[in-house]
Structure 1
Amino acid sequence: MQGGYYSSVGGMVTQIDRLDVIANNIANANTTGFKRDDVVIGDFLRLYEQAKDFLPIDEQTKDAAKFYNRSLNRVPQIVEEFTDRSLGGMMQTDNTFDFALGRENAYFMIETPEGIRYTRDGSFVLNEQGRLVNKEGYPVLPREYLDAPQYIEFIDGFQVEVDTNGNVYTRDLNNEGISEMALMTNIGIVAFENPKYLKKVGDNLYSYPEERNNEREALEQSGAVRQGFLEKSNINVVYEMTGLIEANRLVEAYSKVLKTHMDELNTEAITKLAAKA
């Protein structure tokens, strides 16, 4: 068995997968509220040490497994993929229905055909019915939706202001006798006990396991909402490009090692065996 060959194949596959993650980060550098992904690279030995006591046959958990997998122990593998949830920069737009969230563990609720989804992208608009929706046309939800389905709707001719807790106040601009802002509804902001279970599902949305809904909390005093702002992605393009170049060079290096094994070492071994025969 050519241990170097298998290690090189594993290393190349790992770096190609890493390239996919980095390329996706760069592609979303200008996506509102996008959070970068990254990977942890380990080896087979680390995975084996974590799982050996749970393998079904005792003989495979100790010396036997070490013997059979000796040449694979140091093969690089992606052992974990995670999302960096740090805040992105704030961009002022002064648009009435643009909202940014000023804390990490906070998300808007969106109703989709697949159920409630969550997002950091607060670039909202009003549809033809005056309902507050995201760019895909899915309704933005108030806190009360968790108890009884309802939506956030506005009437023409009203001034809209939203405080840092997501409470929506309106003033009738057509009635000169009304000068005070009146509380109308709210924009639902939720936090999660275990944000690591949030999963990206496309359209800048996240899903959360339904069986963990008891870990979801509607925030009445979040202090996080910034009207007239949008959160930028937390992508550092220079950092990502550095990682892209590094991964690409590693792929090339592993490729050269494989070529050496295939074209030189194997040829030499066959030649020597033929000479002895």
Structure 2
Amino acid sequence: MQSGYYSATGGMVTQFNRLDTIANNLANLNTNAYKRDDVAIGDFTRLFKESRDELPLEDNTREAAKFWNRAMDKVPIITEDYTDRSLGAFSQTNNPLDFALKNENAYFAIQTPDGVRYTRDGSFNLDAEGSLVTKEGYKVLSRSGIDYEGGITLDSTTQPIFSPSGRISSRNADGEIVDAGAVAIVSFASPEYLKKGANGLYEYAGKEINKDRELYTLNDDVLRQGYIEKSNVNAVLEMTSLIETNRLVDMYQKVMKTHMDDLNTEAIQKLAVRA
């Protein structure tokens, strides 16, 4: 068996998968609050060493050897994919219904047909009933209504004022300041369990959401009104990674071609002569 050929094939497939991640990052370069994804590349040996204690059979036994393919132990594979949650640049819009979150572990709670979801895209609107909604029409939940689908209703004739903690107020026709509740802004003890979905929404995949989720208090300085967080994708970095990945694919392709065209041909000719 030509283990080098299979190693090159595995390496090429890994780079194709990495290419998909880079392409998705570039496609979301201008998506509000988008967080770039990346991958860590390792080999089968690393995965085996990390998980062998969890195997059903003890190591160094004949039965356990079935889990260990020494001809494939150095094939490059994606061992981990992760999301870079660092803050993107803030862009001033002066729109009173645009918001940016200053803490990278902060999310708005949104009510969707599939349940509560979370987002960092604070580009909101008012619907016909005066409810604060996302661009897709999903209701933005209030701090007091996060567990029973309670939204936020604003008077479209007044300009709402949001404090840095998310408390909402407005001035009525008599000039009085009226309290309108607070927007639900949450953080997570284990943000790595947040799974990306459509329209910039996240679903929390942890088992104990009520334990891991924590509402920001009225004293927290987390909200910035009139600003939008942009994507944290660095176009130069992604293009550099794109070029590197393409070169690696080309290199693996040449290795595979050498194995198939040169080494196989030479082996067949020499074996035929000796026969």
- Specify the TM-score bucket, using the shorter chain as the normaliser: over 0.9
Aligned-partner residue type, residue 215 of structure 1: D
Deviation at 1:179, TM superposition (A): 2.5
1:247 maps to 2:236: no
Change (3 A) 1:195 1:218: same
Q: Distance in 1 between matches of 2:228 and 2:65?
A: 53
Question: For residues 60-98 of structure 1, what are the alpha-carbon distances to aligned partners after superposition, in whole Å with 9 as ceiling and x for unaligned?
Answer: 668963995222111101000000000011100000100
**Contact (CA 8 Å) 1:36, 1:234: kept in 2 or not?**
yes
Distance 2:231 2:60 in 1: 46
1:1-277 maps to which residues of 2 (within 5 A)? 1-58=1-58, 65=65, 69-172=69-172, 175=173, 178-209=174-205, 211-213=207-209, 214-220=211-217, 221-277=219-275
Distance in 1, matches of 2:68 and 2:268, equals 25
CA contact (8 A) 1:119 1:206 kept: yes
Q: Give 1:271 deviation, angstroms.
A: 1.2
Alignment check: 8 A CA contact 1:171 1:179 kept: yes
By how many angstroms is 1:210 displaced? 5.8
Give the AA of the match of 2:199: D
Superposed displacement of residue 226, structure 1: 0.5
Structure 2 residue identity aligned to 1:186: A
Q: TM-score if structure 2 supplies the norm length?
A: 0.94
Shift of 1:270: 1.1
The 8 Å contact of residues 189 and 222 in structure 1, kept in 2 or not, is answered as no
**Separation in 2, partners of 1:254, 1:116:** 45
Aligned partner letter, 2:191: P
Cα distance 1:260–1:243, how it changes in 2: closer, same or farther (>3 A)?
same
Against the structure 1 CA distance between its residues 51 and 162, is the aligned structure 2 distance closer, same or farther, given a 3 Å change threshold? Answer: same
Change (3 A) 1:28 1:67: closer
Q: Which runs of 4+ in 1 moved over 4 A?
A: 59-64
Read off the aligned partner of 1:58 and give its amino acid letter.
Answer: E
TM-score relative to the length of structure 1: 0.94
In structure 2, distance between residues paired with 1:146 and 1:68: 49
Distance 1:22 1:62, change over 3 A: farther
Gapped regions of structure 2 (runs ≥ 5):
none
C-alpha separation in 1, matches of 2:145 and 2:34: 25
* RMSD of aligned Cα (Å): 1.8
Following superposition, the deviation at residue 55 of structure 1 comes to 2.2
One-letter code aligned to 1:140: V
Counterpart residue type for residue 265 of structure 1:
L
- SS in structure 2 at match of 1:233: coil
Aligned residues: percent identity? 53
Contact persistence 2:143–2:181 (CA under 8 A): no
Q: Work out whether residues 117 and 206 of structure 1, in 8 Å CA contact, stay in contact via their aligned partners in 2.
A: yes
Q: Distance in 2 between matches of 1:273 and 1:15?
A: 35
Structure 1 unaligned segments of length 5 or more: list them.
Answer: none
Cα deviation, 1:107-149, whole Å, max 9, x if unaligned, reads 0011111110000100001111111110111111111123433
